Structure 1
């Protein structure tokens, strides 16, 4: 690389601007003395405006000369600055081209490492991968060069063990709510506390329902939800009814489709708690 040599001004400071500073300053001070402590009256206010205009004109003359000298001093630097920026741009363009290749290479390396990590997780997790995909346990820092594969493997082993332990805790602690709580655990950031809270909420709801009597219309609504029937309003009672008609025991057949035994257990519990008789319907082949 060619060494940059500054021949002018080099290490020597720029020459000072030589002008009759003391003379101009003394003359201005003498001129300004006449305005000191001057008080203007309504009759002399026009003279005040003339004085102000004269002072502003003097200041403008000085400012114009200052800008002229500044431009003379800056002209060499501005040309030097423009030339430096041109060369800097050439260097930046070359560096950008190299940077693009570096980033492309680093991207390929990260994708290769990502694939290795996923393979490690799949080998450790086994069937758990279907419920907990790699994205659910992913740590972005794993792609850093300083993060070794051995360290990542240890973290994945600990994570998989924790997930298995948490799922077993849910199965053992949440009873009939285990399927719902497992669903919360797997879809809410693998939070065991969230799954336990779900169980507590469902338990609280059941306690409230057990303490509250079930109205007949609620049973009708539940039956209609199961069968898809349209609820029918009960006939209005007649004022001239001689006596209450004893209730007629009715029955209906319907089929329940379910994918989890817990759903059938919940239905059976509801029927028992609300004193609804039920029994198995003889099997007939569905047409």
Structure 2
């Protein structure tokens, strides 16, 4: 089958539409000069309108001929175009059918190749099977017909070896954040991202330690304040204890914190002077216990002061 024109294109299409172009152009150039830079006055308005009407009529005549010629000129082309469209439509139908079958065949070939690649990967991945799914290392261009299976296998071997070595590097660091590093690495198989995760973890730990250090320092400062206050209280008690009149004991009780028990200083037995210790405490007693406690203090010559 072959498309054949019975006449050459030059013989079919007229070389030009001939009309008095040069004459008309020259006449227009002369007659239109007066309209350049013209100023319309009240007296010249009627004449200007008449000139405008003449010019519009001439323009419409010329453009009308253009449209008429174009229509006639295009008739054979439109007829030719319609016939060509019929032929191309007839050809398109089998082209589409062939194209559909070719694509189906090519897809089947790709599917078969993909299955072979996946099978080789499964046989090679070994103990990394649960960590490295095939989909994460698949390269789309492997399915192109130009990609040889032997080259693809070498590429898979290299990928698996790199992953295995990178995981070993991470584990050899023996970091507490090992799992976080592995998780980050297995997202994109980038050792750089795994190391960035290590740095992030170290920074976080450093901040936490600094925070704990500051908290401990704060506790120590608060404890020091409490100790200072207790020492101040003890000093105050010592000062008040020294003011107690010999032979009198001040008793702190639930009912009466200022009760004073008098004793006979002549009945006191001189004993070797010993170092006194100050004890601060509060007791809840019954009236009988209160009397017994007073008696105990008197009997044992214990000085008691108000807190």
Q: TM-score, normalised by structure 2?
A: 0.64
Distance 2:136 2:76 in 1: 62
Partner of residue 104, structure 1: 104
- Asked if the contact 1:174/1:199 (under 8 Å) is kept, the reply is no
Distance 2:210 2:23 in 1: 105
Cα distance change, pair 209–44 in 1 and its aligned pair in 2 (3 A): same
Shift of 1:211: 2.3
Cα-to-partner distance string for 1:79-111 (whole Å, 9 max, x where unaligned): 101111211121122111100000000011101
Shift of 1:27: 4.9
- Three-state SS of the structure 2 residue aligned to 1:6 is coil
Cα distance change, pair 194–174 in 1 and its aligned pair in 2 (3 A): farther
Distance 1:174 1:45 in 2: 102
Shift of 1:30: 5.4
- Three-state SS of the structure 2 residue aligned to 1:175 is coil
Partner of residue 279, structure 2: none
Partner of residue 193, structure 1: 192
Number of residue-to-residue matches in the alignment: 218
Gap regions ≥5 residues in structure 2: 217-232, 234-307
Distance 2:197 2:21 in 1: 87
Bigger Rg, which one:
2
- Asked if the contact 1:181/1:198 (under 8 Å) is kept, the reply is yes
Moved more, 161-170 or 171-180: 171-180
Distance 1:139 1:100 in 2: 25
Partner of residue 266, structure 1: none
Structure 1 segment 17-56 matched on structure 2, within 5 A: 17-25=17-25, 27-29=27-29, 31-32=31-32, 35=35, 38-56=38-56
Are positions 1:178 and 2:178 aligned together? yes
Shift of 1:7: 2.5
Moved more, 201-210 or 26-35: 26-35
Over the residues paired in the alignment, what is the CA RMSD in angstroms? Answer: 2.6
Shift of 1:46: 3.5
Cα distance change, pair 211–5 in 1 and its aligned pair in 2 (3 A): closer
Shift of 1:47: 2.6
Shift of 1:177: 1.2
Shift of 1:116: 0.5
- Asked if the contact 1:174/1:196 (under 8 Å) is kept, the reply is no
Q: Which has the higher contact order (CA 8 A, sep 6+)?
A: 2
Cα distance change, pair 63–180 in 1 and its aligned pair in 2 (3 A): same
Partner of residue 86, structure 2: 86
Cα distance change, pair 208–31 in 1 and its aligned pair in 2 (3 A): closer
Cα distance change, pair 27–184 in 1 and its aligned pair in 2 (3 A): closer
Cα-to-partner distance string for 1:233-253 (whole Å, 9 max, x where unaligned): xxxxxxxxxx8xxxxxxxxxx
Cα distance change, pair 37–177 in 1 and its aligned pair in 2 (3 A): closer
Cα-to-partner distance string for 1:34-67 (whole Å, 9 max, x where unaligned): 5456432233234323322220111011100111
Distance 2:23 2:111 in 1: 76
The runs of at least 4 aligned residues of structure 1 exceeding 3 Å deviation read 8-11, 18-39
Partner of residue 130, structure 1: 130
